[in-house]
A and B are shown apart, each in its own frame.
Chain A
Amino acid sequence: MSTAAAPSMEHGTSSFGVYNLKLGMWVFLLSEVMFFTGLIGSYIILRFANPDQFAVPGAVLNVPLTALNTFILICSSVSMVKAFADVQAGNQAGLKKWLLVTALLGMVFLGIQAIEYTVLASEGFVPMAERYAAHGRAGGHETLGGPLYGTTFYTMTGFHGTHVSIGVACLWWCVFQAYRGRYTANSHGGIEIMGLYWHFVDLVWIILFTIVYLI
């Protein structure tokens, strides 16, 4: 997070035409692209090599609930970008309001994911589970899929949830700093790179939602 006390981090310019802090965040995010590509690529290979171990969409996972969660994360991206637009315009009240909204929406996302995990675990759908049931969705208590399904599901969504958790912690730090008046129209690199991270987390979820829940 940039502050007025550390202008050099925000204002040093790289040969790519952006300040160093932002370039660093982009490079970090691109390493994250490779990280999630490894996870998603492995999932695709395991899924298509072992189709009998994966249930059809909606049979085990609660798609409507997760669609709602996807919508919440999309809303949090809007609030984040509004916070950035407001700090650029020197609107401190708007910055604080939208940062708070973003942090709270991130927490709602995590809360819903926790509920989802709790319900799935109560149905026996845990990593490496050999047998599990789908209560109230596939219409019975039949065993669906195999151990790879739970393992890959929790690995991918768990790593993403960890990223969201880190993002929420950083957002609360930004809220704290915003209330201290550390971001201004002339110095708001911290909000910009926070936004880049948060939008990336949203972007990854958009892909995960389709691949894990809908396909």
Chain B
Amino acid sequence: MAEHTAPAGAPASSHGEHKAPNYYLIWLILFVVTVAEVGVAFISQIPKTVLILILLAMAIYKAFLVAMYYMHLKFEPRRMWLIVTAPLPLAVILVVIVLREGW
């Protein structure tokens, strides 16, 4: 968020200078992918496993867009990425361990 003007004596913006993303374009992509998701979900010819993978890929792509452009993660200092990505392997470990217990 380049426009975040730091007051006198305050730390500079947490972001580097950058051009503001096209928020409406991101919105349009999110809308189109959501419509595509609903359409794909009801195509019975696609094998179930393939369908699940396609739907998950679409959802992750949408979540990625929201995090990168609406939450401005793309423009955060790289050190912040350490914090943001830290729980992701933990989340995977949590699911894998519970899966092993469940089956």
Q: Which residues of A contact B (CB under 8 A)?
A: 7, 10-13, 15-19, 22-23, 26-27, 30-31, 33-34, 37-38, 40-42, 44-46, 49, 57-58, 63-64, 67, 70-71, 74-75, 77-78, 80-82, 84-85, 88-89, 185-188, 192, 195-196, 199-200, 202-203, 206-207, 209-211, 214-215
Contact = CB atoms under 8 A, between A and B. Distances in A.
A205 to B, nearest CB: 10
A23 B81 CA distance: 11
Interface string B51-62: 110011011101
4 tightest Cβ-Cβ pairs between the two chains A and B? A88-B3, A18-B14, A17-B77, A13-B11
Chief secondary structure at chain B's binding surface? helix
Interface of B: 1, 3-7, 9-11, 14, 20, 23-24, 26-27, 30-31, 34-35, 37-38, 41-42, 51-52, 55-56, 58-60, 62-63, 66-67, 70-71, 76-77, 79-80, 82-84, 86-88, 90-91, 94-95, 98-99, 102-103
B102 A30 contact: no
A7 B7 contact: yes
Given A19-B11, A88-B1, A202 B66 contact: yes
Contacts of A211: 59
Contacts of B84: 26, 30
Contacts of A10: 10
A23 B97 CA distance: 29
A126 to B, nearest CB: 25
Contact of A30 (B34, B63, B66, B83): B83
B90 A34 contact: yes
A42 to B, nearest CB: 7
A37 B76 contact: no
Contacts of A57: 41-42
A206 B79 contact: no
Contacts, number: 155
A36 B34 CA distance: 21
A44 B67 CA distance: 23
B18 to A, nearest CB: 12
B3 A89 contact: yes
Contacts of B56: 210, 215
Contact of A34 (B4, B20, B87): B87
Nearest to B1: A88
Contacts of B27: 74-75, 77-78
A33 B76 CA distance: 19
A214 B71 contact: no
